[in-house]
Amino acid sequence: MKRFLLVLLTIVVLLMAADAKTKAKKKKAPQEPTCATDIHDCDAEGCSSDNHHDPKLNVLKNRKSSSQPVTDRSVTWMKGRPNPTHYTPGGSRSELTALGEGDQVRVVGYLLAVKPELGGESCNCYLRTVPETDNHLVLVTQTTVDKFHLPPHANTATLKSVFHKREAESITVEYTPRVRLDHPNFTKAKTQPLINKTAQGALKVRVTGPLMFDSEHFFVHHLNRVTNWEIHPVFHLEYCPKGKTCTANSDANWQDIEAEP
């Protein structure tokens, strides 16, 4: 009897410990306080009490223009960029520069979604309004779209499942609030409806901007994507209208997102 009670007590203790662990996981981390009044007041280095705050990375994220020549690359090329082997968080980015960080590229791919970052980021001083936050744009190859094909009249569960599989093979390009000051159509409100009108939920786009290695997501806060090399920020975005043929090395038929009313 005593043995039975001891076993029962042990089970109860284990269940209580498991329940406490589950609740601890569900508990959200404390929200970082906003550290600027607006995006104009936010320094290019950003701000944060987070140990992962990297001013050098934030300066790259907060560029508004680039004088570098533009080189045509592919999504496949970006997916194959190597990770650094000696870089340490917050350290010199010379290894990353040697791997191409800062080079301005133009890439053609298929845009799946525009995802607002309304939770706040150190690069934007944890501002949380739509105009003052980044948008993550999920970009994939035609091969990925074809491999994970959307059936006609797909339900919500199927849409989410297909998107998750596609996103695992994606790269990220980003709209940023500082660039948006000069490019007001760099928003989810202008871009997502164009995606939604396509049969496969995949809009053919041509994106121009600097290569950047998102070292924060390399070490922590991992994302569902194939690489941490990004185009960040986006300086130019064009899309291919329905029924038109658009190629990487020709300007014919590409529609500038800035021309949208």
pLDDT category of residue 107 using cuts at 50, 70 and 90: very high
Counting the structural domains of the chain, the total is: 1
Inform me whether the pLDDT recorded for 11 exceeds 50: no
Alpha-helical segments (H) within the chain: 2-26, 55-61, 75-79, 94-98, 142-147, 156-167, 177-180, 188-196, 215-219
First to last CA, the chain: 79
Distance between CA 20 and CA 259 in Å, rounded? 54
Identify the band that residue 52 occupies on the pLDDT scale cut at 50, 70 and 90. Answer: low
Average pLDDT for 134-145 = 98
- pLDDT number for residue 148: 98
Write down the pLDDT at residue 18.
Answer: 47
Q: Where are the beta strands (DSSP E) in the chain?
A: 70-74, 104-116, 135-140, 171-175, 203-213, 229-231, 236-239, 255-256
Residue 19 lies inside a defined structural domain of this protein: no
Task: Name the pTM for this structure.
Answer: 0.87
pLDDT of the residue at 253: 98
Residues 49, 51, 52, 54: is their CA dihedral positive or negative? positive
- Report if residue 28 sits inside a domain: no
Q: Is residue 142 part of a domain?
A: yes
Q: Is the pLDDT of residue 9 over 50?
A: no
Residue 97: inside a domain, yes or no? Answer: yes
Q: What is the dihedral of CA 102, 106, 107, 113, to 10 degrees?
A: 80
| Within a domain: 2 | no
Residue 101: give its domain's CATH number.
Answer: 2.40.50.140
Q: Which domain holds residue 245?
A: 35-259
Summarize pLDDT for 26-40 with one digit per residue, the tens. 445 568 899 999 999
Residue 1: inside a domain: no
DSSP, collapsed to helix, strand or coil, labels residue 60 as helix
Whether residue 86 lies inside any domain: the answer is yes
